[in-house]
Each structure stands twice: as structure tokens, then as C-alpha cells.
Amino acid sequence: MADSSQNALMDASGVGCQRAAAVLLGIGPETAQAVFKLFGEPELRRVAIGARELRSRPPTAVQEALDLFVTNMETVGGDQAAGDDLLREVAEKALGVDVARRAFDGAVPPPPPDEVLGPVSQADPEALAMVLGREQPQTIALVLSSLEAWRAAGVMDRLAEKVRPDVIRRMATIESVSPDVLREVGHALSSELKALVAGGMRKVDGKATALEILRRMNAQQQGVVLAEIEKDDGGLASEVRGRLFTFADLANLADRDLQALLREIDAQRLTVALKGATADVRQKFLSNLSARAAEMLNDDLQAMGPVKLSSVEAAQQEIAKSAQELASQGRITIVGPSEKML
């Protein structure tokens, strides 16, 4: 109904704004609201003009417009005398109070985003996310609220997950913003975007690189570095410790240490963990079991159906944590990639 209503209104607009307003009155508030959602602000302004002028039209104006709009309509809805107020209310529900107010009160519309934000309004979502990622949530919310919905969504997808709720919360409370403020923000961000493109800036995973460097240090060096990090950021130090020794690193354990670990872990958890392990890691575990136990484990792995990746990762993390605990107790020795055993 909304598509046919829009087409009919486009035809009606050629013969006058009054007739378009009369049709919207006649089809009722709910359908009119759906039609308004298909309009831009210029079309809404023409309807608003027609609604104001409709007061001076003969009482038959709405009926005549509806006869042209759909010949089989039997009754006429809408009060043309109250058309201005009614259509204003419908427009507010469909397009928001600010847009409706500007259209029906004849206020000057705000400049389009590309005039205010400049290149930012047309920026690639990935590049814009890299620049906005360094800004405060309020600034991010102002910019995203002024972009096309698809572009704003693309930027949001690339922002840090922990930032998104605050940004969305702030966006939900923004009703208007000064063009001067947006222009200033857009100018600053445009400069950063130009620098990003000119400098060939790209995304990097500094945390992964830092972890790889730490893994190549001996245990004593790792301890010194992590102790310094912990002074400033305990949460980061804890995260790094948790990722420093992974399930795959168990393949570097000496056989006697791996056997000690196997005595401490649940057989079912091990089966789930090995479901997502590499062939080398799986063989390392099997070779440190008795022939009977290795055969049973192989049978369990073959019989096991699909397992959620999250379940596999949880089992692997639990076993890696058990290895760290045994190492902290001096019961096994964790060997880093850069360390040699004699």
C-alpha cells in the first residue's frame, strides 16, 4: 500500500501540493505515516504547503483528490480544516519532530551533511572508524548521527566492542546539533583522514606482536616485563599472562612434564580440547599415553560429533591454565620457543 500511495502522490504532486495533502488526509494517519517515511524533506515541504492552503479549498477537495487517487474508495477520511495539524502530527511520527517542524513552519533546512562534515560524510567506514576510534564517545555519536544509516552502521561494526554501547546510548539522546559544531568536528577529522591516507596508515595487531615477542623471552624476562605492565594496568597484565601460554604451547613440554599434566586433567575435557588441536599437538598427547589409553582417546575423537568452537576453546584454556598452575608450583617446567633443553 505504501508503494502505491507514493506513486499516486507523485502523480498528484504534478497538479498541486493541495491535492497531495488531501490524499494523505484521506488515506488516514497510519498509511500516511508509511508514505511519509518514503519522502525526503523537499517532498514533505510541498505537502506542508498544500496542507496550509487546503483550508481555503471547497469541502469537496478531499473527495476529488481521493477519487483520482483510488476510484474504489467508498468513504472519505480526514478533516481538511484540521489538515495542517493532523499531517504535522503524522509527519512527526514518521520523520521526527525537527524535520516536521522545519517543513510545516517554513524554517530553513539544515545544510546537508557533505557541506558540514566535508569529506568525513563520504569517508570509507573502515578509515573513519580508525580515526573515530581515538575520539570520545560523544564525538563519535555526533558524527555517526549525521551520517547515512548504512555508513554509520559500517563504522559502528569496526569500533571497539566496549565503546559501542556508550556511543549508541549517546546517539539515542541526540535530537539536534549546531552545524557550526559539526563543521568544526568535520574539519578536524578530515585532516586526520588525509593524514591517514597520505601516510598509508593501516591496521596493526600490536597485542599479538607483543605476545609473540614475550614468548621468545625466557621465564625470568617475561616476569620482569609483566611486573612493569601490572604497575600501570593490572587488567592488561592479566590478559597477557592468560594468552602468553596457550594449549598449542603444550607441545613444547618435556614428555615427563606432559605426563604429569595428563594425570591432573579430566579425560573428557582433553578429548574436547584435542578436537580442535593440530595434528602435532594431538600426536604429542597420544604419544604420552599408554597404548590402551591412546587407543580409547582416538576412538572417542572419531566418535565425537561436531563441537562448538567456544567449547573447544574453553577446554583448551582450562588445560593451559592447569599447566601454568603446575609450573607455578614447580611440578613441571614450561619451555618457551626460544629456550633450549640440554
> Which whole-number Å values give the CA distances from 126 to 129, 158, 186, in the listed order?
5, 7, 17
pLDDT for residue 12: 39
- Each residue's pLDDT, cut to its tens digit, for the chain (342 residues) gives 444 444 444 343 434 577 777 778 777 788 888 888 877 777 787 778 777 777 767 767 667 766 665 553 444 444 554 556 777 787 777 777 777 777 777 665 555 545 567 677 777 788 888 888 888 888 888 888 877 777 888 888 888 888 888 888 888 887 777 777 777 888 788 777 776 554 444 555 677 778 888 877 766 677 788 788 888 888 887 778 777 778 888 888 899 999 999 999 888 899 999 988 888 899 999 999 999 998 999 888 888 888 888 888 888 888 888 887 788 788 888 765 545 444
335 in a structural domain: no
268 in a structural domain: yes
User: Do both 77 and 158 map to the same domain?
Assistant: no
User: Do both 262 and 192 map to the same domain?
Assistant: no
Can you give the residue range of the structural domain that contains 161?
113-198
Contact of 254 with 333, CB cutoff 8 Å: yes
Q: How many domains does the chain have?
A: 3
Compute the distance between CA of residue 120 and CA of residue 187 in angstroms, rounded to an integer: 8
237 in a structural domain: no
User: Do both 91 and 128 map to the same domain?
Assistant: no
User: Do both 124 and 67 map to the same domain?
Assistant: no
338 in a structural domain: no
pLDDT for residue 219: 62
pTM tops 0.85, yes or no: no
Compute the distance between CA of residue 329 and CA of residue 26 in angstroms, rounded to an integer: 82
Residue that is last in its domain, among 105, 137, 160:
105
User: Do both 117 and 65 map to the same domain?
Assistant: no
181 in a structural domain: yes
Residue that is last in its domain, among 167, 198, 229:
198
Quote the cell numbers at residue 190. 578530515
221 in a structural domain: no
DSSP 28: -
66 in a structural domain: yes
